[in-house]
Amino acid sequence: MERILRENPNFVTEPFLGEKEPHISFEFFPPKNEEADKLLWESVERLAPLKPRFMSVTYGAGGSTRERTRATVTRIARETTIPAVAHLTCVNASRDEIDDIARDYWDAGIRHIVALRGDPPGGERFQARPDGYANAVELVEGLKRIAPFEISVACYPETHPQALSPEADIEFLKRKFDAGATRAISQFFLSADVFLRFRDRVAAAGITAEILPGIMPTSNISGLRRMADSCGIAIPEKLGRLMESLDKDDPSVKQMVSMAVTSDLCSQLAREGVDSFHFYTMNRAEITSALCRLLGRQPVA
């Protein structure tokens, strides 16, 4: 750790401790087996005392985790006091099937949905079904016809890879809000400037709704690099050099450096007026919990 900081003396800044606690929210994915289920619920129990605004649960490619997503969301709603949020996509389902899932969530007490177009399994290009929702705008409109859901949608600070242009991408985001979305949660990014420039472009387009920065705290450096490459996320040169220097280091060193890097990212955002953070937890509590503490968020008994 000392070597890393010595070689990167300006990489880490002091954590942000504002006058008031920031708003936070967490994202999980449904567990695949008993061991993963145990890890997930240990993380939920550890993070719940931080009193997030909500906890969301993802929906696998092509709806592959539909039942596990529902089971996880309803358990969060049943066993915690934190609002539970279900992800829902347009992939491999008709409008009637998706509407039935949404009604089921409403009947189960779930009032907030993350509405996404989604991606097919195997990296295939999305093709709307003739009887399905064609995109997130149509999905938001459909959900609003069913019940007065609170709806979050996705946004892309570095532009969706299938968008015609950055301007077209923001115009499509505006259409999601016009259809009834409440807020947008950004794809993760690795440079504060990327999000801040995006925030400025969104405001210039006349969008006044909340834009939550998606934060990816992970000690899996090689995994983070793969995710960034697959999502078209730019890796800043300094961070890239740091990642290379960590490749053969001890996991505990990677975890400490990862926390320092992500804390620095959040601190930069906070100094620019960002007071809400959405953490992609990867079903692990350690780094996310520490980051929330550094941001000034204290647990409640």
- Residues designated catalytic: 27
Cβ-contact 153, 184 below 8 angstroms: yes
H or E segment to which residue 277 belongs: strand 276-280
121: which DSSP letter? G
The one-letter amino acid at 170: I
